[in-house]
Amino acid sequence: MKITMEQLTHYAKNYGFVFQGSELYGGLANTWDYGPLGVTLKNNIKALWWKRFVQESPVNVGLDSAILMNPKTWEASGHLSGFNDPLIDCKACKARHRVDHLIDAFDRTISADGLSIERLQEIIDGSTIKCPACGVRDFTPIRQFNLMFKTSQGALDDHSHDIYLRPETAQGIFLNFKNVLRTSRKKIPFGIAQIGKSFRNEITPGNFIFRTREFEQCELEFFCEPGTEMDWFNYWKKASMQFLLDLNIPQDHLNFSDHAPEKLSHYSNATSDIEYQFAWGFDELWGIASRTDYDLKQHQAHSGESLEYMDPMTNQKYLPYVIEPSLGVERLFLALLTEAYEEETLDNGDIRTVLKIHPALAPYKVAILPLIKKRHAAQAQTLFETLSKHVTCSYDDTGNIGRRYRRCDAIGTPFAITIDDDSLNKGTYTLRMRDTMAQITLSEPQLIEYIQKHTAF
């Protein structure tokens, strides 16, 4: 049975994965802090994505661009004029709603995403939709709400210094296209990858860490020759799906949702979302878009600088087309916890909580557990010093060994080593497996090799 969102939020808080943001002051709505296990899991997700999409790719390179960018960026990209959500207020209770979400929830046969304001207003007017918060039907007219967070740079508090927190990392990549091309000596096709924070003033954030105002994206902008973009679109769709399957998310919990032609964003000639079966149903995890040459064309026009690529074989100049797989780190975090959490009934009737997460993602790869503190702690600490140079280790010498195993299972530690008299006398260690609870005996050099081999990606 799948974990509910309530159980998952409770579990994440209890074990130190995710805490309410600013909890000490009563919290700040929809902000989350990542605890000791959460930050490690998040780092592991990002490291594996980077390994697959940058390190193991002969054609992709990395970038880390600034969050704050020249505001002309957002004029050129269309975010200032068009990065809006349709918004409606309930006059009775003042609750604020995203109109497309209201309509989708009211009538599942209508897909309101991407419809014009006029059409949305017609649907609201012709329906019996009521405010989900108070049940009254008394709405303001629909209006557009820009999702970018505005702030100002420097000491002067006038509008000439308005800047924005980036709503996607992608634009930093487009602005550096020429810099990367020149310095990396790449030839088309090639990609630029970036991991970083993005900010959106979402009207209706929610579902725990699924939709937040501050989040991280792993984005790849892959530049290719016009006319080849559909092949590359399919290539990156497949590669993205494969990454998720390799993280042990089963195929039947994932699907592609292709956007209908009339629902495509103005810059895209094809878009598909990889959806995961979250606790509330299938929802977007990873957007893959063919963005044409829209962004480079816009930045070329607004900056006055040529962003064309010259093909060294044909000497022809052109603006590359772009394929963009864009993954939300927190959404994958949520999917992985949802997938891995299990409450397992053991042969003796006990129930154990176990996080059967891919070993490469596990916050700790191995737990070091001296059987009797007084007798085995010194050797266990020496082993910790040796192993922690190679893999992340936890150390626990309190409570009975069964309880300590349970805690390791609950936080997804794939291996536990017990240090006992045999370890002192013969130099052998008992290695226990999280998923099967089977045990094997290994020597110290074998331990390192075994754990590294079985926690690799």
Q: Given the rule CB under 6 A, which residues bind ligand GAP?
A: 168, 170, 200, 202, 211-212, 215, 217, 219, 284-287, 324, 326-328, 330-331
Of 319, 299, 78, nearest in space to 176 by CA: 299
Note if the bond before 189 is cis, omega within 30 degrees.
Answer: yes
Amino acid in position 321? Y
The nearer residue to ligand GAP, 334 or 369, going by C-beta atoms, is 334
- Please say which residue, 144 or 316, places its beta carbon nearer to ligand GAP: 144
Length of the chain in terms of residues written: 457
Local structure of residue 24 (DSSP, 8 states)? G
Residue 413, amino acid: T
Name the helix (H) or strand (E) containing 351. strand 351-355
Please check whether residue 98 is in contact with residue 192, taking contact to mean a CB–CB distance below 8 angstroms. no
- Closer residue to ligand GAP in complex, CB, 139/199: 199
> What residue is closest to ligand GAP based on CB?
328
Between 285 and 357, name the residue whose CB sits nearer to ligand GAP: 285
Q: Which is nearer to ligand GAP, 9 or 217 (CB)?
A: 217
- For 89, phi then psi, to 5°, come to -110, 145
**Burial of residue 304, with CB atoms counted within 10 A of its CB: 0-12 exposed, 13-18 middle, 19 or more buried:** exposed
Other beta carbons less than 10 A from residue 89's beta carbon: 17
Q: CB of 416: closest distance to ligand GAP in angstroms?
A: 34
Least Å from the CB of residue 202 to ligand GAP: 5
229 versus 420: smaller Cβ distance to ligand GAP: 229
Minimum gap (Å) between residue 182 Cβ and ligand GAP: 24
Q: Least distance to ligand GAP from the beta carbon of 164, Å?
A: 14
CB of 273 to ligand GAP, least distance (A): 6
φ and ψ at 162, to 5 degrees? -65, 130
Beta bridge partners of 354: 342
What's the closest the beta carbon of residue 86 comes to ligand GAP, in angstroms? 16
